[in-house]
Amino acid sequence: MRFLSISFLCLSFLFSALFSTLTFADDAELNKKIADCNQLVKNGTPEKALDSAGQLLKKNQKNREVVLCKARAQMALNQFADAVPTLTTVEQLSNSPNDHMMSLAMLGNAYKGNQQFNEAVASYQQSMDIAKAQKNKSFERITCNLVGEVQALNKKFDEAITSYQAGLKLALNDNERADAFERIASIYNQQQKQNQAIEYQLKATLAYTHYGDLDAQANAGLELGRIYMDAGELDQAEKSINKILKLAVDNGGAYWEVKSDLYLAKVKMASHQSNDAKKLLESAQKLNKEVGDAMLSETISAALKQLDK
């Protein structure tokens, strides 16, 4: 009897070990399939990721990571209405504060894409509350900006500025401060408050000059030039754009060289210097054949047509 008990005990351990090995193998295989699903989204084939997630969900309906991959695919396909219930499920399957924080922010993105602005703000606010409780200032800043973006889309400009100012106070470095300055400048520009827009865009430009890469510096400088144009300060606009043109030429930034020529052409058009504008546009058009940017090509062509009228 004792022998049988020992044998049974040994068999129990053996089967337990075997079951654990099989479970581990199953988990490893599932994790690989989830990773492959997410990679399909990153590779720009979200429709394949959605199919993959659908297959995985047949046997793993309560697996948060599988549902999350489905949500990522839906968001990448701009299927925002479908993503809302999917991300609601992700949130329900979340356990840790960080998981809740991230899923609520993503749910807010889905609401925003579906133009459910009140729901988006509410979801972002819930995510922000968790970030505050976790003392995660970085993510608190991100949610402030997300709220501001929705408020700006909803034409609630004063509220958007308040949100961006809150994000600015949480900025941890000059790049984050420059990002906040640009956001605030954009709102003031939309409100036709050009003095304030110039003030904040100048702050962004100066911050990026010291700490930003070529793209950040060039984009900020050209945006400053554009705001100067909106304010009718054409000399300042030309000065700002020429700085970026020199930066682009010196650093081999062909894209920014094309865009600088385009912006300078717009300054010349605004000051009724049509011949100079045409030369700049033709130069931009020629260089853009090497760059191959479709949007710039359309904008340049439209400006040339405007000159020919």
Angstrom distance (rounded) from CA 82 to CA 113: 11
At 308, is the pLDDT very low, low, confident or very high (cuts 50, 70, 90)?
confident
Q: Are residues 38 and 99 in the same domain?
A: no
Q: Are residues 161 and 112 in the same domain?
A: yes
Q: Are residues 115 and 96 in the same domain?
A: yes
Q: For the chain, give the mean pLDDT.
A: 91
Q: Are residues 128 and 69 in the same domain?
A: no
Residue 187 domain flag: no
Residue 141 domain flag: yes
Last-in-domain residue among 139, 170, 201: 170
Residue 155, Ramachandran bin (φ over 0: left; ψ between -120 and 50: alpha; else beta): left
Model pTM?
Answer: 0.85
Residue 290 domain flag: no
DSSP letters for 66-121: HHHHHHHHHHHTT-HHHHHHHHHHHHHT--SHHHHHHHHHHHHHHHHHTT-HHHHH
* Mean pLDDT of the region 121-128: 98
Q: What is the pLDDT of residue 13?
A: 43
Last-in-domain residue among 142, 170, 198: 170
Q: Are residues 145 and 97 in the same domain?
A: yes
Residue 118 domain flag: yes
The mean-pLDDT minimum among 8-17, 180-189, 255-264 falls in: 8-17
Helices 2-42 + 64-76 axis angle, to 10: 10
* Mean pLDDT of the region 252-275: 96
Q: Are residues 39 and 62 in the same domain?
A: yes
Q: Are residues 163 and 128 in the same domain?
A: yes
The answer to whether residues 201 and 220 touch, using CB atoms and an 8 Å cutoff, is yes
Residue 218 domain flag: no
Residue 152 domain flag: yes
At 26, is the pLDDT very low, low, confident or very high (cuts 50, 70, 90)?
low
Q: Which domain, by its residues, includes 92?
A: 84-170
Residue 302 domain flag: no
**The domain spanning residue 111 has which CATH number?**
1.25.40.10
Last-in-domain residue among 137, 170, 203: 170
At 271, is the pLDDT very low, low, confident or very high (cuts 50, 70, 90)?
very high
Residue 16: pLDDT over 80: no
At 112, is the pLDDT very low, low, confident or very high (cuts 50, 70, 90)?
very high
At 301, is the pLDDT very low, low, confident or very high (cuts 50, 70, 90)?
very high
Q: Are residues 60 and 104 in the same domain?
A: no
Angstrom distance (rounded) from CA 200 to CA 184: 7
Residue 163 domain flag: yes
Tokens standing for residue 146 = 């997300």
Q: Based on the structure, what is the number of domains in the chain?
A: 2
The answer to whether residues 87 and 110 touch, using CB atoms and an 8 Å cutoff, is yes
* Mean pLDDT of the region 237-260: 96
Q: Are residues 65 and 112 in the same domain?
A: no
Q: What is the pLDDT of residue 156?
A: 97
Q: Are residues 88 and 62 in the same domain?
A: no
